[in-house]
Structure 1
Amino acid sequence: MSTINQTLFSRASAEVIDLHRFFVDWFVAARADTVDFARFERAMGDGLSMITPDGHVLDRAAVVDHVRSSRAICDDGFAISIEDIRPGWHDADTIVVFYVEAQLRAGKHSRRQSSAVFTTSSSAPNGVEWRHLHETWLQVPES
C-alpha cells in the first residue's frame, strides 16, 4: 500500500474506532448528555447507504434518525469492541475497510462483519466520511 493510502487507511481505522466510542457514549444513559451529536452527522457523507445485519437498506436520513432516536437506550453494561480492521480496495481518495464489531448489550453478545466505504473529507472528524456500510451477522444476539 502506498504512503498516501496508508494514511487514508489510518484515518478510516481511527474513524471506525472513534465512531463506535461515540455510539457507546450516545447509547448509554449515564453518558448521553455529554455527547455532541453533530460529530455523528459530520461523519455521515451525503448519499450514505447502509445495509443492516437483517438486510434492510437505509439511506442517510434513516440512519441519522435511528441513531438520534436511540439516545440513552442502554445501561452501563453496553460495550462495543472493534476487531480485525483491515483495508480492502482503495484509491487516492476512497477506501473499503473491513472490521468485526462485537457488542455486549443487556448481557447478550453479538458479532457482525462489516465493510465500510470511506472518502476523504476535510470537514469530517477524522478526515474521512462514511459513504456505505454493510453489516452481516456472525453471531446473532443471544436469546
Structure 2
Amino acid sequence: MSAVDATLFSKASAEVIGLHRFFVDWFVAARADTVDFSRFERVMAHGFSMVAPDGHVLDRAAVIDHVRSSRATCDDGFAISIEDIRAGWQDEDTIVVLYVEAQLRGGKNSRRQSSAVFTTSSSAPNGVEWRHLHETWLQVPER
C-alpha cells in the first residue's frame, strides 16, 4: 500500500473499531449514560444504507432509530470484537473494508462477515464516514 492508501485504511480501521466500542458502551446499561449519541450520527453519511444479516435493507434513518432505541439493553457481559480486518477496493478518498464482527450477548455467541464502504470526511471523528454496510451471518446467534 502507498502512504495515501495506508492512511485511508488506518482511518477506516480506526473507525470500525471505534464505532463498535461506541456500540458496546451505548448498549451496556451500566455505561450508556456516559455516551454521546451524536458520535454515531456524525459518522453515518447522508444516503447511508445497510444490508442487515437477515437480508433486510435499511436506510440511515432506520439504522439510527434502531441504535437509539437499543440504548442500555445489554448487561455487562455484552462484548464485540473485530477480527480479520483488511482493505478491499479503494481509490483516493473511498475504501471498502472487510472484517468479521464477533458478539457475545446474553452468554451467546454470533459472528458476521461485514463489508463497509467509507469516504473521507473532515468532520468525522476518524476522518471517514460510513456510506454502506453489508453484513452476512457466519454464526447465527445461539438460541
Q: In which range does the TM-score fall when normalised by the shorter chain?
A: over 0.9
Q: Distance in 1 between matches of 2:48 and 2:112?
A: 19
Q: CA deviation at 1:90?
A: 0.1
Residue 97 of structure 1 aligns with an amino acid whose one-letter code is: V
**Counterpart residue number, 1:26:** 26
Residue 139 of structure 1 aligns with an amino acid whose one-letter code is: Q
**Counterpart residue number, 1:8:** 8
Q: Distance in 1 between matches of 2:36 and 2:130?
A: 18
Structure 1 unmatched ranges of 5 or more: none
Following superposition of structure 1 onto structure 2, how do residues 1-143 of structure 1 map, counting pairs within 5 Å? 1-143=1-143
Residue 82 of structure 2 aligns with an amino acid whose one-letter code is: I
Structure 2 unmatched ranges of 5 or more: none
Residue 100 of structure 1 aligns with an amino acid whose one-letter code is: V
Residue 104 of structure 1 aligns with an amino acid whose one-letter code is: L
Cα deviations by residue, 1:93-124 (Å, 9 ceiling, x for unpaired):
00000000000000000000000000000001
Q: Distance in 2 between matches of 1:18 and 1:26?
A: 12
Q: Distance in 1 between matches of 2:104 and 2:54?
A: 18
Residue 70 of structure 1 aligns with an amino acid whose one-letter code is: S
For 1:29, what is the secondary structure of its paired residue?
coil
Residue 115 of structure 2 aligns with an amino acid whose one-letter code is: S
- Alignment coverage as a number of residue pairs: 143
Q: Distance in 2 between matches of 1:91 and 1:17?
A: 22
- TM-score, normalised via structure 1 length: 0.99
Of residues 132-141 and 1-10 in structure 1, the stretch that sits farther from structure 2 once superposed is 1-10
Q: Distance in 1 between matches of 2:27 and 2:51?
A: 20
Q: Distance in 2 between matches of 1:41 and 1:70?
A: 14
Q: Distance in 1 between matches of 2:64 and 2:122?
A: 20
Q: Distance in 2 between matches of 1:91 and 1:2?
A: 11
Q: CA deviation at 1:62?
A: 0.5
For 1:12, what is the secondary structure of its paired residue?
helix
Q: CA deviation at 1:5?
A: 1.1
Q: CA deviation at 1:18?
A: 0.4
For 1:137, what is the secondary structure of its paired residue?
strand
